[in-house]
Amino acid sequence: MGKLNQHRTRIRKSYKYSKGALEKGMICEMSYHRRAVKGESKLELKKYIVIVLNPSFNGFMHAMSLDEVSSSQLNNLATTWGLKSIGKGQAVSLHGVLTGLRIPKLVMNESSGRFYSSQFSKLKGSVLDSYRTFNIKNVGGQLSVIDYEWDKQVFDQQFSELIAEKAQQAKIKSKELAVVKQSIKTAEGKRKIDANFNKNLDKKQAAKTKKATAATKEKPTNL
């Protein structure tokens, strides 16, 4: 299984995507019908976890097979290339597990051809050897885009501004909640004071009425 098991332990959550909704830089899991033996027509089904380099070009998806890339090598790529939140699909409306942020993808701002020549082609060893092309017709109907658990140091570095913004929002929300709670507490305290005052007033009025009634009973009747 190569290095896939390293990556499977880092899958926080998966989101179903169609082929047409994929973006460059996404990490996705898919089923692919490939030739069992080179040169023969018989196909076999194989599972892949890939980084999308180009989701569709002349009927083929260009990608990196993570079977050839370790988790530490992938985190190094994230440090070099950068991470950003995905832009469309199911995961945009949902939050990444634990992070509270939309799930990340690797940054590939240049065109696919330019990115390949300026970035990917300069890689070495198994990372460079991970390059694959997949006939889109042979890719399974739906793919799963992965919310990948990046190393905390890498994630925090890449999303430092967004994390700080969310922390500030949480702080403001906490203060607003404290004000609301204090207002409720103050209102509840005032209600209790008013209730006690009215209760004492009622007692005094009842005592006064009782005393007046008693005095009337004791007054002698004129004959």
Least Cα distance to 145 among 18, 54, 40 occurs for: 18
Nearest-angstrom CA–CA distance, 98 and 147 = 10
Which has the higher per-residue pLDDT, 206 or 125?
125
Average pLDDT over residues 153-164: 79
Least Cα distance to 89 among 23, 31, 139, 155 occurs for: 23
Cβ atoms of 34 and 142 closer than 8 Å: no
Residue 57 has which token pair?
A: 């070009």
Q: Sorting pLDDT into bands at 50, 70 and 90, what band is 1? A: low
pTM beyond cutoff 0.85: no
Q: At 131, which helix (H) or strand (E)?
A: strand 131-135
Q: How high is the pLDDT of residue 92?
A: 54
